[in-house]
Amino acid sequence: MNLIIDIGNTLVKLAVFHQDNLLHKLVCKPEDIITEVQKLIDEFPKLKKGIISKVGKLKSSELEKTKNQIELLELNSKLKLPFKNLYATPDTLGVDRIALVSASVKQFPFNNVLIIDTGTCITYDFISSKNEYFGGAISPGIRLRYYALHNLTANLPLLDTEMPNNLIGDTTSSSIHSGVVFGVVKEIDGVIEEYQKKYSDLTVILTGGDANFLSNQLKNSIFANSNFLLEGLNFILEFNSD
């Protein structure tokens, strides 16, 4: 059994896999990670190895006890990866993006794949049918756009995420919802269409915290998978265990 630890910008995702099967998943706050990891180790005594993907801040010393209990691999660009990395600055490539691309290799081998992760940031990652990763794009996610409008202006309120009823907002709040949500939807559809012009056989994966919220609004055909990053981490762990 494998323990997967994904430390994001705001939350931590923990998962237990047996081979390719996801047995258990939970989300916790960063300050609760030690307690929740120990609970999983106690609940699943057959856990022998794990992998940690760290985008958010976490001191290495915080997981020392875990490292003494199971073999824990930390994801970085130096690990053996299941694709050819053509990113010009591979050491700066986010580990979350590495995991997502790895998941696409596992599930859609030798396909042209665009992976869109809708989290704190929206990331776009492209891997070709020749198993070559080229890069992609990074833009602000939905919550970042709400925060930016509130924090960088004098009078705009901070709103909870909400699907707008109309394109034309007739109040300040409805105008913000229209601008943020429809702006993201049009951005994603526009990026997909640009890739499709070059790769007619493109497979598109939508994942991340806002994937379910956005999936029904997009006009392009996509595969929505909220566990894609976790599956990619599990694949990398197995790939480095052979």
Residue with tokens 């059994």: 1
Which residues of the chain fall below pLDDT 50? none
Kindly list the distances between the CA atom of residue 117 and the CA atoms of 44, 64, 126, 194, 207, in Å, as whole numbers in the listed order.
Answer: 30, 30, 12, 17, 5
Q: Is 11 annotated as a binding residue?
A: yes
Residue-range domain boundaries for the chain: 2-74, 84-233
161 annotated ligand-binding residue: no
Task: Judge if 2-74 and 84-233 fold alike in CATH terms.
Answer: yes
Element (H, E) at 112: none
pLDDT at 60: 61
Q: Are 105 and 115 in contact (CB under 8 A)?
A: no
Is 170 labeled as catalytic in the residue annotation?
Answer: no
CATH number of 84-233: 3.30.420.40
Q: Which structure tokens are listed for 90? A: 């591979």
Is 94 labelled as part of a ligand binding site? yes
146 annotated as belonging to a binding site for a ligand: no
Pairwise CA distance, residues 18 & 24, whole Å: 10
CA-to-CA separations, 169 to 34, 157, 186, in angstroms, rounded: 45, 15, 16
pLDDT tens digits for range 22-65: 999 999 998 898 899 999 999 999 998 999 998 767 666 677 77
Name the catalytic one among 20, 32, 42, 96.
96
Superfamily of chain region 2-74: ATPase, nucleotide binding domain (3.30.420.40)
176: which residues sit within 8 A by CB, 6+ positions away? Answer: 146, 149, 156, 157, 159, 169
Can you give the pLDDT at residue 59? 66
Q: What is the pTM of this model?
A: 0.90
